[in-house]
Amino acid sequence: MKLVIAEKPSLGRTIASAVGARLRKDGYIEGNGFIVSWCFGHLYELVDPEEYWDPKDRNGARDSWEDSLEHLPFFPADWRFRYDVKRGCRGQVRLLRELINRPDISLIYAAGDADREGEVIVRLVLEANMKTKKRVLRLWLPSLTADVIRKAVAEAKPDTEYDNLYRAGKTRAAVDWMIGIELTRFSSVKAKHFIRIGRCICPIVSRVVEREKEIRDFIPEEYYAVAGEVEKSGIKRSLTCKKRFGKGKNQDAEAYANELNRLPTVVTDIEKKTVELKSGKLFSMSALQSFVCKMDKSLSPSDVLEAAQALYEKGYVTYPRTNSCYLCRDEAGRIDGIISAFRKEGYTDLINKPANKLIYDDSKVESHSAITPTSKIPGSLSGREGTVYVCIKNRFLAVFASVPCIVERTQITVTCGEEVFRLKGDVRKQEGWQKFEKAQEKDSILPMFEKGETIHPGYAPVEKKATPPKRYTVESLNNWMIAPFKKDDGSVDHSDYTDEEWRDILSEATICTEATRADTIDRCLKSKYMTLNKGEYAATEYGFYLVKVMRELGIDLSVSRTVSLSRDLHDISVGKKSERDIFEETKKMLTSIMKREKNVAISFTGGNDIKSIGACPVCGRPVQETKKGFSCTDRSCRFTLWKEDSFFKAVGAKMTKTNAKALLKDGRILAKGLKSQKTGRAYDAYICMDEIDERGYIRWKMEFVQR
């Protein structure tokens, strides 16, 4: 009899179906020579430091750490970290212990997810519960179709071949435990306020806080530009000069506009060329999260990961926690099968492209290849799963479209004096892959000018204001976490490294892994260090406080330190480094921080400073009452509900705090007993916020209620 231990019940059910196990028992499924059972994710967790101590060292009955640094820093003797069964999981552990040690079980398959975390989850169960040594094979599942599962069973390798992966996973957990628990306790005691510290949480929050500070400190620079507008056949395009004029220089701007108006504005060149547009690459998890969250701003990265994981467990997509956008060359046969399945669904314009290096590149696949649908095609899917599946499916169809997407790319050059304007636009000539996935940018329609034509833009001064830096979106923060050494413009400085060394750094030089990135962001949000609103991250006052506490206590969880650990874990997974080396480095860091005897000079007052009446509908930050209205606390956001609002005055309503709260919560209020200015009759109506423009101005509308 063979025992399969899956990471989750849903995965276990899928494997059982593939291997022919049908008889359901309490906690497992049996049949066809297999018993399939499961974990519930992590069944074991690292115990708290108190569990290592002798009871007499715990100050009697007091196990609390909130007001004492007596036992910090703490490191297990000889680096023997202890695990215990998670609360609520003891029943399943007892069942697995019985199954593992059944005399008729001769072979065990470890079927954790195909990553470092999955290796740790099942291996801990086996180490803690196997009484007599049995043969263990690793069931490595890139996707969960029945054919792939049966092939993986037939080709499974001894679990000992994954020892380095297991060591790396346990090392990561132990380092995160030391940094997270010890620095959280140390900081909280010092600050007299709970401060959650995490190896990946801190650099993420620090980055978002840094951007938020830039926005808050930004002083809008007013200036004048000179611009004109051209129109032909109903198509309008603006021409904006590069030259700027500072605040109060409106007369200089007007003089420059007059000078340009006296000169001819001529179409000096028209360049047209036919271009084949490439589709986007297949998705990694981060790329999928960025794409989906940009399309549907109500979703968070953790929502996308959860949906993709559910699709994987149902066998509809391949393993989602991947950092690659490429396929291995030996997967071409699998892709043929998927294309064949979609052709049967009516998608005929598809072809495999095994020679295309933008799709198949073994050198760019480390553990798991890009996310693709499988040949198991679902019926109707709803909600988040439906949204995520459609994105994965459409990208796959676009990548393997047999007809190219062709556009005519046009650039029109317009010259006036020393000013040169370039108008660009594409006209789609052949739909190609855009039949399956629409381009993110719409075609820009250009006026039909002729070379040598004189046009008359009518230049005039335009008052403008410089805009603050943009907040991080799901996409831009993901991009930063994947390559934190890159600058905002995408460039990198690796002058201190050879090209080969730099490629090695980038292979693991990330903030979090694909498997943990969404969960870490979720912890940042739940810890209230930052918010996610309409696809944009904003730092909270608590996030600012975290950064201040870290600075005062000398806690360095910078990008370079975090990336250094990522490289170390990679080196363990390929057998280049010892976990003891990393533990000693972590011990040295923690000891150095805690022996400085520094104190936190500031206390957290953010919760008392801002008496919020609701969230700003523009940026999501708190709204507070001021003398003249109810304004967003972000100075760069202009949203305000004015107490003397002219619309409210005109209809006989008042902008009270109660009404302001209701508007922020529901977007409308029910106003009763309003009087018509024409007839004097009383009426009831909903006053609704219809639109809010970039200046913070609100367009109101009324929905009348029949009395």
Higher pLDDT, 440 or 224: 224
464-484 pLDDT, tens digit each:
888 888 999 998 998 888 877
- What percent of the residues of the chain are helix, what percent strand, and what percent coil, each to the nearest 5? 40, 25, 40
pLDDT at 608: 38
Number of H helices, E strands in the chain: 21, 25
Domain 171-216+473-594, second-level architecture: Orthogonal Bundle (1.10)
Asked if 512 and 200 touch (Cβ cutoff 8 Å), the reply is yes
Number of residues assigned to the chain: 707
3-state secondary structure of 197: coil
661-682 pLDDT, tens digit each:
888 887 889 888 888 777 778 8
Residue 499: which pLDDT band, with cuts at 50, 70 and 90? low
Residue 141: which pLDDT band, with cuts at 50, 70 and 90? confident
pLDDT at 397: 96
- Average pLDDT on 610-629 reads 75
Enumerate the H helices of 597-674 as residue ranges. Answer: 606-609, 646-651, 657-666
- Average pLDDT on 228-246 reads 88
pLDDT at 369 over 90: no
Pick from 257-261, 293-297, 699-703 the range whose average pLDDT is largest. Answer: 257-261
Residue 490: which pLDDT band, with cuts at 50, 70 and 90? very low
Asked if 319 and 114 touch (Cβ cutoff 8 Å), the reply is yes
Residue 698: which pLDDT band, with cuts at 50, 70 and 90? confident
How do the domains of the chain map onto residue ranges? 2-47+82-155, 171-216+473-594, 222-278+405-465, 285-399, 610-705
**What is the rounded CA–CA span in Å between residue 329 and residue 334?**
10
Q: What is the enclosing helix (H) or strand (E) of 622?
A: strand 622-625
Residue 14: which pLDDT band, with cuts at 50, 70 and 90? confident
pLDDT at 622: 74
**331, amino acid identity:** E
Asked if 201 and 527 touch (Cβ cutoff 8 Å), the reply is yes
**84, amino acid identity:** D
Enumerate the H helices of 103-200 as residue ranges. Answer: 116-129, 146-155, 163-177, 183-191
Question: What pairs with residue 5 in β-bridges?
Answer: 37, 110
pLDDT at 229: 92
Asked if 239 and 414 touch (Cβ cutoff 8 Å), the reply is yes
3-state secondary structure of 550: helix
pLDDT at 266: 95
Distances (CA, A) of 55 to 47, 51, 60, 214: 15, 9, 7, 50
Cis peptide before 73 (omega within 30 of 0): yes
Higher pLDDT, 71 or 132: 132
Closest CA to 45 of 136, 130, 158, 128: 128
Give the list of residues 6+ apart from residue 309 with CB closer than 8 angstroms, or none: 320, 321
Q: What is the DSSP letter of 435?
A: G
- Average pLDDT on 183-198 reads 87
Residue 367: which pLDDT band, with cuts at 50, 70 and 90? low
Asked if 110 and 139 touch (Cβ cutoff 8 Å), the reply is yes
Asked if 122 and 111 touch (Cβ cutoff 8 Å), the reply is yes
Q: What is the DSSP letter of 164?
A: H
- Average pLDDT on 405-422 reads 92
**What is the rounded CA–CA span in Å between residue 172 and residue 483?**
20
User: How far separated are the first and last CA of the chain, in Å rounded?
Assistant: 75
- Average pLDDT on 406-433 reads 90
Please compute, for residue 670, the number of CA atoms within 13 A of its CA located in the half-sphere on the CB side: 5
Asked if 334 and 372 touch (Cβ cutoff 8 Å), the reply is no
- For the entire predicted model, the pTM comes to 0.71
Higher pLDDT, 205 or 632: 205
**What is the rounded CA–CA span in Å between residue 455 and residue 597?**
73
* Token pair in block for residue 435: 């039949």
Pick from 215-224, 479-488, 564-573 the range whose average pLDDT is largest. Answer: 215-224
**What is the rounded CA–CA span in Å between residue 219 and residue 223?**
13
**What is the rounded CA–CA span in Å between residue 682 and residue 675?**
4
- Average pLDDT on 224-241 reads 89
Specify the range with the lowest mean pLDDT, choosing from 76-85, 376-385, 433-442. Answer: 433-442
Question: What pairs with residue 158 in β-bridges?
Answer: 137
- Given the DSSP bridges, would you call strands 612-615 and 530-533 parallel, antiparallel or unpaired? unpaired
Asked if 323 and 366 touch (Cβ cutoff 8 Å), the reply is yes
Please state the φ and ψ torsions of residue 50, each to the nearest 5 degrees.
-60, -30
Enumerate the H helices of 483-617 as residue ranges. Answer: 499-508, 517-526, 541-553, 559-573, 579-594, 606-609
- Average pLDDT on 276-297 reads 91
CATH topology of domain 285-399: Topoisomerase I; domain 4 (1.10.290)
Closest CA to 149 of 310, 372, 307, 313: 313
pLDDT at 60 over 50: no
- Average pLDDT on 287-297 reads 91
pLDDT at 350: 95
pLDDT at 497: 47
Looking up tokens 């435990």, which residue turns up? 177
pLDDT at 609 over 60: no
Distances (CA, A) of 555 to 91, 439, 524, 528, 558: 41, 45, 18, 20, 9
pLDDT at 62: 43
Asked if 88 and 198 touch (Cβ cutoff 8 Å), the reply is no
Burial bucket for residue 129 (CB in 10 Å: 0-12, 13-18, 19+):
middle
314-342 pLDDT, tens digit each:
889 998 888 889 998 888 999 999 999 99
Class level of CATH domain 222-278+405-465: mainly beta
**What is the rounded CA–CA span in Å between residue 382 and residue 651?**
43
% of the chain with per-residue pLDDT over 90:
43
pLDDT at 478: 87
Tell me what the pLDDT averaged over the chain comes to. Answer: 85
Higher pLDDT, 259 or 66: 259
pLDDT at 443 over 60: no
Give the list of residues 6+ apart from residue 136 with CB closer than 8 angstroms, or none: 107, 108, 109, 110, 126, 158, 159
* Token pair in block for residue 228: 């004109």
CATH 3.40.50.140 matches 2-47+82-155: yes
pLDDT at 65 over 60: no
Give the list of residues 6+ apart from residue 26 with CB closer than 8 angstroms, or none: 95
pLDDT at 80 over 50: yes
- Average pLDDT on 203-219 reads 91
**What is the rounded CA–CA span in Å between residue 359 and residue 352?**
10
Residue 154: which pLDDT band, with cuts at 50, 70 and 90? very high
Q: What is the DSSP letter of 349?
A: S
